[in-house]
Structure 1
Amino acid sequence: MTEQVHEQRVIIEMGMGNDLHGMDYTKAAARAIEDALRHSSLPLFAVTGLDHDQMRVQVTVGVQEPDKVDTDTLVAKLPRGQAEVRVVQGGLNVPTGGDTIVIAQASVEAFVPRQSGWRLTS
């Protein structure tokens, strides 16, 4: 999804997650999102007084079988903002003889409305 004109991206984080047994694409995707979130902090909200509800969170997850991901479950796990999750072809399936390891990649982006009185530089 492209950045909307009236918003500015304030963070982008990447993460990786997997499911070693069971080929659960939703579990691998959730772990990828959790990995990305562990790398981020948004002190911007405390500094500016913005409410977290003003933030739009766009998550893109790549797995080999996108139709096997429950996006509602992933949206419910996102802690703040107005969340959207889209799933695309990507990630990796690794056969191990008896099982297949599912590897998911995630990008988590946060957008806030453009502000007056202060601005983020491009």
Structure 2
Amino acid sequence: MSDQRFIIEMGMGNDQYGQDYTKAAARAIEDAIRHSSIPMFEALGLDHADMRVQVTVGVQDPEKVDCEALMQKLPRGTATVQAVFGGQNVTNPDSGNVLVIATAAVEAFLPKQA
């Protein structure tokens, strides 16, 4: 039996001063999760442990993202996190400071329901 995606949420996060890609990605994931409320678990008697969560974060320098640390912050389900090229880096021309902007797609899957 294959999984069926039942939700996808998008989020955006940034790190304005530290150029920390993991921090920006964590904020993007948190932004996406804050947009979700899934009452079907209680309504249908489903267990959150049966949910598979797949997160894709986009940043300009994916190898600087600690995917394991991000995975540990996800509150429910069995999670995977992948960093890919995306997002933006914006440089302040006056100071040279780089603003790191990350995007996140958080997808949740359950086994197909009868």
Give me the TM-score of the superposition, normalised by structure 1. 0.89
Cα RMSD, aligned residues only: 0.9
Match of 1:101 in 2: 99
SS in 2 for 1:67: helix
Inter-partner Cα distance in structure 2 for 1:47 and 1:10: 15
Q: Which runs of 5+ in 1 are unaligned?
A: 117-122
Match of 2:75 among 49, 63, 79: 79
User: For residues 65-99 of structure 1, what are the alpha-carbon distances to aligned partners after superposition, in whole Å with 9 as ceiling and x for unaligned?
Assistant: 00000001100110000000001000000001331
- Structure 1 stretch displaced more, 42-51 or 27-36: 42-51
Q: Which runs of at least 4 in structure 1 moved beyond 6 Å after TM superposition?
A: none
Look up the equivalent residue of 1:77 and give its one-letter code. Answer: K
User: For residues 20-48 of structure 1, what are the alpha-carbon distances to aligned partners after superposition, in whole Å with 9 as ceiling and x for unaligned?
Assistant: 00100000000000000000011110111
Identity %: 65
Inter-partner Cα distance in structure 2 for 1:100 and 1:71: 21
Match of 2:16 in 1: 20
SS in 1 for 2:84: strand
Give me the TM-score of the superposition, normalised by structure 2. 0.96
